[in-house]
Amino acid sequence: MKNNKCKICRRQGVKLFLKGERCLSVKCSVIRKPYPPGQKKKRRARALSEYGQQLREKQKMRNWYNLRERQFKNYVNKILSSRGKVQDPSSLLIKVLETRLDNVVFKLGFSSSRSLAKQMVSHGHFLVNNKPINVPSYLVKKGDKITLKPNSAKKKLFQNISAVLKKYAAPAWLEVSADKLEGKVLRDPGPQDATPPGEISSIFEFYSK
């Protein structure tokens, strides 16, 4: 699985941080092998067609948020079907993707990657407004509180989480308490709060065809 995830980043030519802390080390495959898997180091990459470029942007964004094709396509198509009613489709897509519970758990610092955050949520380690939620795609909203379950805090997976959170700086739209092992959504996230690797306009063009 490690190599498969590293190949995704190499194929897209950009770090997607799919392996958490490993992506920040010298062991990162994008640093050691900055060329697509299966391609010789010195071979010049072929120029992409317009469709190929749009596909690449879509794949980068989908993998960045650790989503299946069907999930990601549904999000985009729902926004596309609301054109005329939505003033800024790109901002709405960012808001939806950023407020997924698995992404929020990651952004609050409880996990080192979105894939791990998805597992944590699926295994029922978190409460939203004191209610257990084990659906990674659950969308949080302004004012929601995300809390690590007391029993989960005792597990090996979270044994150093308080110390980690004390050193962690959450995004401006979120607030995290290392003592309470709790996070809060302060406001809706916007494009300024996210640094996705894909060009969103190209993604909408890809699915519009």
pLDDT band at 186 (very low <50, low <70, confident <90, very high): very high
CB-CB contact of 2 with 19 (8 Å): yes
How many Å apart are CA 16 and CA 59, to the nearest integer? 11
**In this predicted structure, what is the pLDDT of residue 149?**
98
Beta bridge partners of 147: 127, 182
Per-residue pLDDT tens for 38-72? 666 556 567 889 999 999 999 999 999 999 999 99
Domain locations in the chain as residue ranges: 1-39, 50-98+200-209, 100-185
**In this predicted structure, what is the pLDDT of residue 47?**
80
How many Å apart are CA 24 and CA 170, to the nearest integer? 18
Question: Rounded to two decimals, what is the model's pTM?
Answer: 0.79
What is the DSSP track for 142-196? TT-EEEE-HHHHTSGGGTTHHHHHHT----TTEEEETTTTEEEE-S---GGG---
CB-CB contact of 133 with 101 (8 Å): yes
Tell me the percentage of the chain whose pLDDT exceeds 70: 79
Per-residue pLDDT tens for 69-103? 999 999 999 999 987 777 899 999 999 999 999 99
DSSP state at residue 49: P
Which CATH number is associated with domain 100-185? 3.10.290.10
Give the H/E segment covering residue 128.
strand 126-128
How many Å apart are CA 149 and CA 136, to the nearest integer? 16
Beta bridge partners of 131: 128
Distances (CA, A) of 61 to 8, 77, 132, 155, 162: 12, 15, 29, 32, 30
